[in-house]
Structure 1
Amino acid sequence: FDTSHTYFDCTNFYFEIDREDDFRKKGPSKENRKEPIVGLGLLLDANQIPIGMKLFPGNQSEKPVLRKVIDDLKKRNAVSGRTIQIADKGLNCAENIFHALKNGDGYIFSKSVKQLPETEKVWVLLPNDYKDVKDAEGNTLYCIKECVDEFEYKFTDSETGSLKKYKITEKRIVTFNPKLAKKQIYEINKEVEKARLLKASQAKKSEYGDSAKYVIFTPVDKKGNDTDGRVKVTMNEELIKKSLELAGYNMLVTSEISMGAREVYTAYHNLWRIEESFRIMKSQLDARPVYLQKENTIVGHFLICYLAVLLTRLLQFKILKNNYCSEDLFEFIRDFRVAKISDRKYINLSRGTEFIKDFSTLCNLPLTSYFLSDGEIKKMLSHRF
């Protein structure tokens, strides 16, 4: 496997049980479930092939999992070369950056523009230095600009509990996507309108849901003085304005100073392969809900799912040369059927598709034949890639 780049992300799986145990814990669910969950971290190599997996209790932070999986991978496979760790903003923290650099690795992480200091937000919003990236027809896909500067990080060491500070030279890349901006502005306005309507109807705080972030709840009495009694509701107009201003903007931070901005952008956006791997587990492989109780059997269940995804990716990338998506492959697996009509004869009940035609030619198998002999069936079942 190629560890020049490694992609990492986490998801979680719910269990339809009422009580927690040492492994299945209640925590922040990706699907907003209230049941106990187990977290799963997945590591891909530069070719988007799964090369590592780690399970952890659902109430634990996923940030340390990145460090553990990378360390385990290097130790288990005697990997001594440098790897660029690529992950989203949920895994971007000062300790992960420190750990990567300490081990001689690099990183490409996304970073929330909303949490930047005001001086950096000003730089993001300045129209200077942005370059348009266009498609073949001349339409603007996104705008991009970059800078290299020295930045300070600090964190509380998870092992010693001591506060650590360090400065590094880092490249920061900002993109503005007009389509994303339009989508986010629509979503912000929708939440703001919901909050205004709830405010007008004097709704309870619990009814606001996600729109509560655009509202300030202040306990006041009839004279407007702070108290533990009634709650005064006001719209957070400053936050609304800032959210609308930053719609469509994204930031990437990286240790790779010599990499071009578009090269960093392209490398980061291969993370969608991990999201697709999670979708394969949850939909095609029915990985959840999980009806197992013991930790070792739960681990075994997800190991089988991991191996299935690994084999799918190897077939998709190494055999099919990435010409077909995973949905084509699973459709073939589900729908290919034959019926026995005599002792030594079968008929092919499958619907002909471009995938089956190409797969048949590639593997030299009679997948498109209507009548199949006993020998041809045995040839299919014994085929080795």
Structure 2
Amino acid sequence: MTAEFDIFLATLPGLEPVLCDEVRHKGFKRPKPVPGGVVLKGGWPEIWRANLWVRGASRVLARIDSFRVEHLAQLDRRARHVPWASVLRPDIPFRVEASCSASRIYHSGAAAERIATAIRETLGAPSADDAEVTVMARIDHDICTISIDTSGEPLHKRGYKEAVNAAPMRETMASLFLRQCGYDGNEPVLDPMCGSGTFVIEAAEIAARLNPGRARHFAFEKLATFDAEAWETMRAVRSGRTPPARFQGSDRDAGAIAMSLANAERAGVADITEFRRCAISDIVPPEGPPGLVIVNPPYGTRLGDRPKLMPLYQALGRVLMERFHGWRVGIIATDARLAHATGLPFLPTDAPVPHGGLRVTLFRTAPLP
């Protein structure tokens, strides 16, 4: 339990520095951004904490071995020397996922089968396609890295969102966009196109200091390294607070408002969030100090969509400039021309990130004049 190893927290390409900033602020040792995520040092308690605490990671991998391989027979031999019994249980099914890149071993399916056979024959554990415990093998430039996916279901599945609208923003992504906008839980947040309420609920949870993994199960609970008593002690720690602000969402669609209300209730933040049916032209800032407006408007992915959406973006920008003095704005868009149609004074942007088969960019402002 005290031995340290590499822990990999996965995220979307382009968001690695933002995730690293979150991980550093939550007290993890020596986090370093790398392509596709963040690497840090720790043991199994850090694995549990990362799954429980970190908002921006999509999954947490424990790296348990690494070695050079150049052909399948060598992989078969080397895989039998991995200390599987120290991590996996012989009574719990597992499955293996493999990927190969720039290596002499290029058939990922054959590589996965060799590793699965090695585990079955050395540990006695059964393999199953639907197993919750996943062994991940990455063979890159003839170096095979063996990891265990300790999360199970992706971490954006917080355990409360049953109702979603079309093309929803994942909670992990939403949390990182909020962080990029400078949000730290101490100011109001408004989403005037709230959909199923992701930004509003995520902002409320951050402000209330609610752990994102508090309501779900994790794959590490099926591993040989799991200590149920220590885990329950960790989960029982409460750091919640009453937020200094409230969090509001609006949408022109009544169905979206109903989804948001239900999701906020399940998340336990119904008392600090508000949702109402409202057109863009009718939004007004809530009473109190300025905060953050963050919105994920329609993208217009088909040819001819942009002219139809231009009036919506123009109206949004006009309302924000006229009524939201001192507020910062974050807009997620695939088309820079639509974003700039708002007329808002955007800061320089970072590289776009993948989302639902598209590439989206966060357009941010300083406090509006």
**TM-score higher than 0.5:** no
The structure having more radius of gyration, on CA atoms, is: 1
When normalised by structure 1's length, the TM-score is: 0.27
